[in-house]
Structure 1
Amino acid sequence: MAFPWLQTPPTDPKFYGFPAPAKLNLMLKIVGRRDDGYHLLETVFRFIDYGDTIWLAPDDSGHIVLETPLPHVAPDHDLTVRAARALQQATACQAGVRIRIDKRLPMGGGLGGGSSDAATTLMALNQLWGLGLSRQALQNIAVTLGADVPVFIFGEAAFASGIGEELTTCTVPHAWYVVLHPAVEVATAKIFASEGLTRNSPRSIMRALETTQRQNTLQNVVFEMFPEVKNCYDSISRYGNAMMTGSGACIFLECESQKEAEQVYCSLADEYQGFIAEGLIEHPFYSLSR
């Protein structure tokens, strides 16, 4: 794996660094709604070789301390803190941890940054605290934190249904991605509350790779609410079939090679922030859980 930023540890040697990669939704559609208001969806998740870094310093204090709180997010609401506390409660663990986050993924970007951070925290602390929980046990904790958290512990490219927690391994092709951020933060709850959202897309016949559909039924609603996202989509669409990931705001384009991705990104870098990344077959820490 690349994750080159892990080569430079923080000044405090008590911290261990763990990658929290971004995800892309290669397909996303809403197929229904539960009585409790949760939306039923179908999507294909894949991880990419770009993301945040979670630094953890375990101790025996019993306290969970976030040393790098994010702007406008109370530490108690941060998903890494919630993940650590949920793991403590599920196992009656008396250990503590200090947490630092190197945040590279934009908030409200549809890249799963917060969910990935939470999943990495669960997997890493399971090791650092010597808890020995299985992958399924960690996924059971993860789903209480958010619908996107379990897939990062599942650890493979996956077809997801239900509210996102029913996961089936699927095959994805080797690819590179150009990912652009249109400098707006899209609140997921706002998009799912929209009256214009299509909630009755036909279900897939096969629980298999659905990338041939290449659709995101949230996309048009986001475009109407956030013209900046539509403009970004139009710009990158000159080079191929672009798509929005998650509930936005990031737009991505799949490329066959690193060279192609670099050429596309260079042509748009003056207009938009973003990055290129290689697609991953599995999470960097897939082998941490069994």
Structure 2
Amino acid sequence: MRSLHHCLAPAKLNLFLHVVGRRADGFHLLQSVFQLIDHGDVLHFDLRPDERIVRSTDVPGVPEEQDLIVRALRLLQAEHARRHGRLPPGIEVAIEKVLPMGGGLGGGSSDAATALMAANHLWQAGLTQQELMDLGLPLGADIPFFMFGETAFAEGVGEALQAVPGPDCWYVVIEPGVSVPTPAIFSAPDLTRNTTPVTIADFSSSLVASGKQFDFGKNDLQDVAERLFPPVAEAATWLKSYGDARMTGSGACVFCAFSSEHEADQVLAQVSLSGASAWKAWKARSLKSHPMKSLLQNQAVME
């Protein structure tokens, strides 16, 4: 097989995000539930006749050498060489960029995870899911989740994952028109760092009771992001008139869950009437598993 096209790199939402402590090395200890949604970048992979890893699409603000996709593929290429005694063919990657940078949706990490899964298949490298997760972790704490590929209760710095049932719902997501740098949020002196830890049972029982996620927990990063970036606060305040809206990740995007697509469409129709010209809003449905899993299973059957 020489190519894999139309590979969705789905966004994630943090249904809640608590900071429960801080390690001696400065990294924050987190608890969260990660939810995949059916909206994201689309990647296309083609093997090359040489051994180069090439990104054929320009991504403003992200030089090719710094792109997580390129860096992840080079790590896997080196691991392939170590295991099999030879370098695999190079790969050319084209990206249909949909997700904003600095939005808290995990776009770069999701792209890297999708690239690792695709290349592992195209190269027949033979790495297990856990081995791919371990390979990607040094590049970004969210990459293991996207490799894990299902709704997950996350702890540690986000790498300790356990599968949990997630809500079956629709989300309205607003991009408020700003990019939020994660370091600015985590370095803020007024960031809450001592939220009482919760358990999977706490989240699951709340989900069973309500049928939805949006009455559980909060995002500890949101107050800081709203203070530093007022457009985040404006979007969250507007969306809260329709439900328990909250920010995902370290921002900037905010979201609200709805029981049906019809409800989500009704809210989207109101966004255009809000007068906030900088906002971009869209809807997405929750996903139970990463679409690359079924894509690669189907490819394996065809082969």
TM value normalised by structure 1:
0.92
CA distance in 2, matches of 1:17, 1:60: 21
SS at match of 2:138: coil
> Alignment partner for residue 90 of structure 1, among 69, 79, 82?
79
- Asked whether 1:167 is paired with 2:156, we answer no
CA distance in 1, matches of 2:49, 2:76: 15
CA distance in 2, matches of 1:27, 1:126: 32
Once the 2 structures are TM-superposed, how far is the Cα of residue 15 of structure 1 from its aligned partner?
6.0
What amino acid is aligned across from residue 249 of structure 1 in structure 2? Answer: A
8 Å CA contact retained: 1:44, 1:157:
yes
- Asked whether 1:201 is paired with 2:195, we answer yes
8 Å CA contact retained: 1:170, 1:208:
no
- Asked whether 1:33 is paired with 2:27, we answer no
8 Å CA contact retained: 1:108, 1:185:
yes
> Alignment partner for residue 43 of structure 1, among 29, 32, 46?
32
CA distance in 2, matches of 1:156, 1:148: 13
Once the 2 structures are TM-superposed, how far is the Cα of residue 69 of structure 1 from its aligned partner?
2.7
CA distance in 1, matches of 2:71, 2:144: 14
Q: Percent identity among equivalent residues?
A: 45
Structure 1's consecutive aligned runs of 4 or more residues displaced over 2 angstroms after TM superposition are 13-17, 205-214, 269-272, 286-289
- Counterpart of 1:240 in structure 2 is 243
> Alignment partner for residue 176 of structure 2, among 182, 188, 192?
182
- Asked whether 1:285 is paired with 2:279, we answer no
8 Å CA contact retained: 1:178, 1:264:
yes
Once the 2 structures are TM-superposed, how far is the Cα of residue 216 of structure 1 from its aligned partner?
0.1
Quickly say closer, same or farther: Cα 1:137–1:207, change in 2 above 3 A. farther
- Asked whether 1:229 is paired with 2:218, we answer no
Structure 2: runs of 5 or more not aligned: 82-86, 205-212, 298-303
Once the 2 structures are TM-superposed, how far is the Cα of residue 265 of structure 1 from its aligned partner?
0.9
Where is the helix percentage greater, Structure 1 or Structure 2? 2
Please, which moves more after superposition, 270-279 or 201-210?
Answer: 201-210
SS at match of 1:30: strand
CA distance in 1, matches of 2:190, 2:289: 35
- Counterpart of 2:186 in structure 1 is 192
CA distance in 2, matches of 1:130, 1:204: 40
8 Å CA contact retained: 2:203, 2:216:
no
- Counterpart of 1:269 in structure 2 is 272
**How well do the aligned residues superpose, as a CA RMSD in angstroms?**
1.6
CA distance in 2, matches of 1:143, 1:15: 24
> Alignment partner for residue 103 of structure 1, among 69, 78, 97?
97
CA distance in 2, matches of 1:190, 1:44: 22
CA distance in 2, matches of 1:18, 1:205: 34
- Counterpart of 2:115 in structure 1 is 121
How does 1:2-151 map onto structure 2 within 5 Å?
Answer: 16-92=5-81, 93-151=87-145
Please, which moves more after superposition, 210-219 or 241-250?
Answer: 210-219
8 Å CA contact retained: 1:24, 1:245:
yes
Once the 2 structures are TM-superposed, how far is the Cα of residue 34 of structure 1 from its aligned partner?
1.2
8 Å CA contact retained: 1:218, 1:247:
yes
TM value normalised by structure 2:
0.88
Once the 2 structures are TM-superposed, how far is the Cα of residue 14 of structure 1 from its aligned partner?
5.7
Structure 1: runs of 5 or more not aligned: 1-12
Once the 2 structures are TM-superposed, how far is the Cα of residue 155 of structure 1 from its aligned partner?
0.8
CA distance in 2, matches of 1:269, 1:119: 34
CA distance in 1, matches of 2:201, 2:73: 33
What amino acid is aligned across from residue 271 of structure 2 in structure 1? Answer: L
Q: Deviations over 1:152-182 (max 9, x none)?
A: 1101100000000000000112100000010
CA distance in 2, matches of 1:199, 1:187: 18
- Asked whether 1:153 is paired with 2:147, we answer yes
SS at match of 1:198: coil
